Amino acid sequence: MSMFCYQCEMSQKGGCGSTGATVGTCGKDENLARLQDIMIFGLKGLSAYREHLNSFKPELTKEIDDVMSETLYFTLTNVNFNFQDHINQLMKVGSAGVKVMAELGEAHMNKFGVPTPVVVPQNKVEGKAILVSGHDLDFFEKLLIATEDKGINIYTHSEMLPAHGYPEFRKFKHLKGNVGKAWFDQAKLMEKFPGTFVVNTNCIVPPKKNCSYLDRVFTHNIVGIEGSTPIENYDFTELIEKTLMCESANGVDLNEDTTLTTGHNYKTVLTLAPQILKALEEGKIKQFFVVAGCDAPGKPGEYYRELTENLPKDTVILTSSCGKFRFNDIDFGEIEGTGIPRYLDLGQCNDSYGAVEIAKALSDALDTPINDLPVSIVLSWMEQKAVIILLALFSLGVKDIYLGPKPPQFVNEDIFNFLAENFNLTLTTNAKDDLQKLLIA
């Protein structure tokens, strides 16, 4: 994506954001155009979290709306040509990201309770079943209520896995387990899954035409694909009827005797603060690794599995988002002699701010600046929510982030050099070499 300038188009081929023109007649050079691209991608992620928050606390969204409106205005072709102003606006978008994620997390916990650790059956399916993918927990509660005592089992997929950690959801006995991994396995998964499939937010994979499962796909709100059935006004009648018509999952070749662990919300983790501080003082914990982000299809994502499975036994892994499905089937055990789990799943991508809350608590307890803590951050990025999370971290002054498995296309050499110089942003290379650098750091 690059900016298109009609003023430049009238005088030359290509817009001022094209690689063929360093500066257009309007004065907008490629760097400014790409910075505005980042703003737009960040706003897409911000708008998604804003929509989630609006379901719980619409009175809190005006401040977010104002930032989105102002930033869109900022990106008009002939408004601003100052590089530092662009950076400042990006930080403003990032700050709005911090606020919306924090408020959304609080809204979730106020309504559904503070998540606590839980072991979730993985790929073990039975009976008439609905598989739910997305991020919308308000929708999820309504679905659980509507399907109670209907002879239907509910399963989560991808970013819905953390729903199992909330106490209010665990009261529903027909919430059974998780199926599949990150968002992009939907098509392959639904070919095997015998029930219905609901996507309630972004991260839907459009099925191929004439696929075998399109009539079993239901969407909610803004999500939509041709041939699927939209759920309107939280009326689950068609979904329930279709599910009961589907084949029972018993005997389907999907069952595995595996489990996943989730529910390590930052508030729950902070209850372990005395044990964690003691383990740090005694040298039993040497380092924390935040390994999180949005997964993407392909072998490059295996970098994150190789990195985590080779971490020393005296390190703790903090994760969130769907990138964790690259390694969340590994049993990382505990820090020896402490009872502290080495793997802590903070939740959905919007719960990423929890890692910052933990870092703040450590910073205060150890009287050490956040960027000097024994914390290393390695992120994977794929889509717009990953961009707003990265901007949120930058707005908080968090540095020394490793980002992969490849650089975003809207970041050119000049912009990356700026981020490297000001935030010490580093691109991942290979897990072995990066791990040596990270452990030394």
Instruction: Give the integer Cα–Cα distance in Å for 79 and 236.
Output: 47
Instruction: Give the integer Cα–Cα distance in Å for 90 and 392.
Output: 9
For residue 410, pLDDT over 90 is answered with: no
Confidence of residue 9 (pLDDT cuts 50, 70, 90): very low
User: 3-state SS of the chain: helix, strand, coil percent to 5?
Assistant: 45, 15, 40
Q: What is the CA radius of gyration of the chain?
A: 23
Confidence of residue 256 (pLDDT cuts 50, 70, 90): confident
Q: 264-440: which CATH topology?
A: Rossmann fold (3.40.50)
∠ Cα 32 423 371 (to 5°): 155
Half-sphere exposure of 32 (CA within 13 A, CB side): 25
> What's residue 71's pLDDT?
98
- Name the most confidently modeled range: 242-256, 355-369, 375-389: 355-369
Question: Domain 6-112 is of which CATH architecture?
Answer: Up-down Bundle (1.20)
> What's residue 416's pLDDT?
93
Instruction: Give the integer Cα–Cα distance in Å for 113 and 116.
Output: 9
CA distances from 196 to 127, 146, 245, 301 (A): 12, 15, 10, 29
Over residues 94-129, the pLDDT tens digits come to: 999 999 999 999 999 999 999 999 999 999 999 999
CATH code of the domain made up of 118-245:
3.40.50.2030
> What's residue 251's pLDDT?
56
What is the domain partition of the chain in residue ranges?
A: 6-112, 118-245, 264-440
| Mean pLDDT, the chain, integer | 91
Instruction: Give the integer Cα–Cα distance in Å for 376 and 177.
Output: 31
Lowest mean pLDDT among 153-157, 205-209, 323-327, 355-359: 205-209
| DSSP-derived 3-state class of residue 337 | coil
Task: State the distance between the two ends of the chain, measured CA to CA, in whole angstroms.
Answer: 35
Buried (b) or exposed (e) across 72-84, using 16+ Cβ within 10 A? Answer: eebbebeebeeee
Instruction: Give the integer Cα–Cα distance in Å for 152 and 77.
Output: 53
> What tokens appear for 2 in the block?
């690059």
Over residues 30-60, the pLDDT tens digits come to: 999 999 999 999 999 999 999 999 999 999 9
- 122 DSSP β-pair partners: 178, 258
Provide the residue type at 121 as one letter.
Answer: P
Report the predicted TM-score, pTM, of the whole model to 2 decimal places.
Answer: 0.92
With both helix axes pointing from N to C terminus, report the angle between 353-366 and 83-112 in degrees, rounded to the nearest 10. 90
Over residues 150-202, the pLDDT tens digits come to: 999 999 999 999 999 999 999 999 999 999 999 999 999 999 999 999 999 99
Instruction: Give the integer Cα–Cα distance in Å for 328 and 326.
Output: 6
> What's residue 252's pLDDT?
57
DSSP 235-250: --HHHHHHHHHSPP-T
* Domain 6-112 and domain 264-440 have a common topology: no
∠ Cα 401 430 372 (to 5°): 25
| Mean pLDDT of all residues in 132-137 | 97
> What's residue 28's pLDDT?
59
Cβ neighbors of 356 (< 8 A, separation 6 or more) are 98, 393, 396, 398
Confidence of residue 21 (pLDDT cuts 50, 70, 90): very low
- Give residue for tokens 């399916």: 125
> What's residue 2's pLDDT?
40
> What's residue 406's pLDDT?
84
Plot region of 176 (φ>0 → left; ψ -120 to 50 → alpha; else → beta)? alpha
> What tokens appear for 394 in the block?
């930058």
